[in-house]
Amino acid sequence: MIGSTEPDGNISPVTTADGNSMTIVSLANSSLVEVDTAGKLVPQLATKWSASGDGLTWTITLRKGAKFSDGSPVTVKDAVDSFTSLLAPNSQSPAKSSFTGIVKSVAAGSGDSTVVFRLERPYSDFPYLLAGANTYILPSGVNDADWIHHPVGAGQFVLESYTPGQGVVYKKNPNYWDAANVKLDGVDIKFYADQQSELLAFQSGEIDSIEAGSQATASLKSADYREVKSGYVKFDGIVFNVTKAPFDDVKVRQAVAWALDRKAIVDTVYGGAAKVANDVPTFPDYLIQPTGLTTREKDLAKVKSLIGDRKIAFTITTYQGEQTLAELVQQQLNATGNFTVKLDIKTPAAYYADGASTPWLNAPVTITDWAERLPSQYIGLLYAKSSSWNASHYSNPALEKLAAKFDATTDPTEQQSLANQIAAIE
C-alpha cells in the first residue's frame, strides 16, 4: 500500500503534469526507453536505436512480442500514432515542448518493427527525449483524455480501479514483456488530503510506502523504516524577467546571486539532500559537467561592489510547494540591507494557470521547480528566444549557437568545451 496526496486535474498518460498523476500513469504504461540512475539509456519497448551519418534520422527498433495489457501487440502504428498525437499542433502534452524544433516527422520504417524520426537539426541526445514524461506508447486510436476510465497500457501493472478521493488499485500485468521480473502481484495507492495526513498514516502502519522530501523524512528516522534515496529529480530555479527593471541590469542579477547562502538553503530546505547548482542547469549525474566555474558563496562585499548602497524592492511569485525555499531566500536577501523582498504565494493551479499572462512565465521574479532533463533541453526551454517557457525572456544569439553545436556533436571533448563556454555566460 502506497500513500499519495490527491492528484491534480485529469489523469492522462499524454497530458498529465503533476507528480502524483504521473505516478499513477507510469505504473501501467511504458515508453520506448528509460534512463537508469547512472544516466544510461535502458531498452523498454524499443531494443535498438541508431542515427544516420548526418544525425538527421534516427531509426528505432521495437521489441518483438511486446503487448498491451489487453493482449494486443505493440505495433509500429501504435508508436507512430502516439508520437504523431504528441507532436500535433493542437497537442496539450507537456512533452511536446521537448520535441519542438527538433523533430520534423515520425513514420513507419522498413519491415514491421522500425520507427523513423526525422529531425530538423542534428541532436545527439535524441534517444533521451524518448524517455521523457508523457512519451508512453498507447494503442492506436485510444482516447487518452478518458484513459483513467478505460486504461490500457504496456506497463508492469494493469489499473483495475480508480476512485477519486480514495485511491487506485493495480494488479500485475501478465502481458508485460518482462513480467517474470515484476516481483509484486499488485499495488494499491491510497489518497490523503495532505502530506501530513500521509506521514501519520505511514507512521501508524496504515500504508507501507510514501514518497517524501528530505524535510518530511527527517521525522521518520527509525530502525522500523527503510529509506530509499532517489537520484537528483529536480532543480529549483530563481528566475528574473530580464526585460523589466531592475533585472534588466545584469549587476542586480549578479548581486542577488552573491547575496544567497546556498549551503544554508541546501541544509535548511532540503535537509542536506541536495547539491548547489551554481546557476547552471546541469544535473550532477549528467555525463558532461561544466568545469572551471567558481562556486558562488555568500559574499556581501561582492554585492556592495556590484550595486553599492542601492535599495531594490521586488516580489517573488511562486506556489505553495516552493514556499519554504521562497521564505528563506526572502530572509537572506532582506538581511543584506540592499533588498526588500515580498512574497506572493499562489496555489499550483493559479501559479501555472493557462493563458498568456500565467504568473510563472510573466511575474518579475519567480521560483519554479523543474524535473530532470538534458542540459540542452533546459537551454532551449529556459533561454531560447522562441521558447514558450522562457520565463526570463532572455535572448542571446551566441548562447543559442553554442547550444546548437552542443546538440549536434557526438565528440565528448567538443561537448565538454561547449559545455564550459555555455556555463561561463552570465
pLDDT in tens, 346-405: 998 899 888 889 999 999 999 998 877 777 777 777 787 777 788 899 999 998 898 888
In this model, does residue 287 exceed pLDDT 70?
no
User: How many angstroms separate the Cα of 276 from the Cα of each of 121, 287, 294, 330, 414?
Assistant: 32, 17, 12, 18, 25
Hey, which of 161-165, 285-289, 407-411 has the most confident mean pLDDT? 161-165
Q: Rounded to 5 degrees, what are φ and ψ at 162?
A: -130, 125
- Give the global pTM: 0.77
Domains 30-129 and 234-423 belong to one CATH topology: no
The pLDDT assigned to 217 comes to 64
What is the band of 419 on the pLDDT scale with cuts at 50, 70, 90?
Answer: confident
The pLDDT assigned to 4 comes to 87
- Side-by-side strand order, sheet with 339-346: 234-240, 365-371, 312-319, 339-346
Cα(337)–Cα(340) distance, integer angstroms: 8
In this model, does residue 169 exceed pLDDT 90?
yes
Cα(363)–Cα(117) distance, integer angstroms: 37
The pLDDT assigned to 222 comes to 65
Q: What topology is assigned to 30-129 in CATH?
A: Dipeptide-binding Protein; domain 1 (3.90.76)
CB atoms within 10 A of CB 334: 14
In this model, does residue 166 exceed pLDDT 80?
yes
The pLDDT assigned to 219 comes to 65
What is the band of 235 on the pLDDT scale with cuts at 50, 70, 90?
Answer: confident
What percentage of the chain exceeds 70 in pLDDT?
96
- Candidate from 45-49, 273-277, 319-323 with smallest mean pLDDT: 273-277
Class of domain 234-423: alpha beta
Nearest to 32 by CA among 154, 193, 205: 154
Cα(121)–Cα(102) distance, integer angstroms: 6
What is the band of 214 on the pLDDT scale with cuts at 50, 70, 90?
Answer: low
Nearest to 322 by CA among 224, 236, 209: 236
CATH 3.90.550.10 fits 2-13+19-24+144-220, yes or no: no
Task: Name the residue type at position 80.
Answer: V
Cα angle vertex 55, ends 50, 56, to 5°? 100
pLDDT of 89-128, one tens digit each? 999 898 898 898 899 999 999 989 999 999 999 998 899 9
The residue with greater pLDDT, 305 or 201, is: 305
Q: Checking DSSP bridges between strand 234-240 and strand 365-371, what pairing results, if any?
A: antiparallel
SS3 242: coil
Q: Checking DSSP bridges between strand 339-346 and strand 312-319, what pairing results, if any?
A: parallel
- Give residue limits of the domains in the chain: 2-13+19-24+144-220, 30-129, 234-423
Sequence-separated (6 or more) residues with CB below 8 Å from residue 60:
32, 46, 48, 49, 79, 114, 115, 116, 117, 130
User: How many angstroms separate the Cα of 207 from the Cα of each of 190, 198, 199, 203?
Assistant: 8, 9, 9, 8
The mean pLDDT of 151-168, rounded to a whole number, is 96
Angle between helices 262-269 and 323-334 (to 10 degrees): 150
pLDDT of 16-74, one tens digit each? 878 788 899 999 999 999 988 777 899 999 999 999 999 999 999 999 999 999 999 99
The residue with greater pLDDT, 241 or 409, is: 241
First CA to last CA across the chain, in angstroms? 47
